Amino acid sequence: MPKVTVYSTQNCPYCRMVKAFLERQGVDYFAVDVGTDKEQAKKMIELSGQYGVPVVTVDDEVIVGYDAQRLNELFGEEKGGVVFDVLIIGAGPAGLTAGVYCARKLLKTLIVSENIGGQASESWAIENYMGYRMITGDDLMRKFEEQVRSLDLSLEIDKVLILDRSGNEFIVNTATGGAYRARAVILAQGKQPRKLGVEGEERYLGRGLSICSTCDGPLFRDKVVAIVGGGNSALQTAIEMSGIAREVHLVVRSTIKADEVYVKAFEKKTNIITHKNTVVSGLRGNSMLAGITLKERTSGKETDLPVDGLFAEIGWIPNTAFLEGVVDMNPDKEVVIDINCHTSVPGIFAAGDITNIRTKQIITAAGEGAKAALSAYEYLIK
């Protein structure tokens, strides 16, 4: 067996998924928490050139992020030949809840998802989910996952590239070369972070620019960071990072538009500097991000700001690129559904944040996942 090391942080959902994958495949690995061990963090950065986790080394090979395709190539197993009753794409609150309801209806069910927990896992604190006064997104999604894994269904970590139809069956092709067939499909793949749209963005991703503050935040202890955004997630990230970083800059395009509970906590912090009516117009650095350019929207004045890290919290866009021409979508690329989660195609259902429902909340997504599963069951028994 090769020597496998996983560099991770405590609250990183993608790190947990790497470990879960390796454990399912019976692969022994050595775990390193770079959020608490500065020397190991330095070693990880030297090996990978990354300020982001997870990083996996397999002998001399360095794998950055949760690279499902490469991990499957190294350790995965060939699967195929089975026709499922329901195939669920996505394992966030909607997809996992749909899985529970499908399993309870004794439907042969497969969940295929790039990750477990979706964007909910990246929440520092959730205070409006019934049954918990406060719980981290990672902890809540871990409880969802534990319940799903206790049931008779299959869960594959992979990225769906194609959804097609062949007769009375649907065919799903994935990034790792997998091909799965099912009699019904539930779309629940959620959203992905919106990009800044600044030149050099891809170059610095993982090299100072992060889209997962819960994953990478601990790597910026006692450093200077900037957060872009003015909504709930941006303020929540600023509040949490103020206890980790030495100095936090909040860059807000117009004004702060967050719930009062976050605004009050934000205003108590003394090491957060707010830049309103301002955007990030440039990134600079060599191998790592070293600074950003701030541009005032009214005057056009630009200012250089040295930072060690930059967190983008400017919203999310639906993961629906592979659905073009498959189901009806609205101008925002959200899947159009009726009140019972039916899409424009019989046998395809949808739930959660990828749909055109107005409320984008964890509790709403879970409820919609249950509805989609029950609608899929009704479709199948007919």
Annotated active-site positions, please? 212, 215-216
How many other C-beta atoms lie within 10 A of the C-beta of residue 74? 17
Beta bridge partners of 330: none
First-to-last C-alpha distance (Å) of the chain: 49
Q: How many CA atoms lie within 13 A of 27 on its CB side?
A: 25
Rg (C-alpha) for the chain, rounded Å, is: 21
> 219 near 41, Cβ under 8 Å?
yes
- Please give the C-alpha separations between residue 37 and each of 34, 59, 175, 219, 271, in angstroms, as whole numbers: 5, 21, 34, 10, 24
- Please give the C-alpha separations between residue 111 and each of 25, 68, 73, 122, in angstroms, as whole numbers: 18, 15, 20, 20
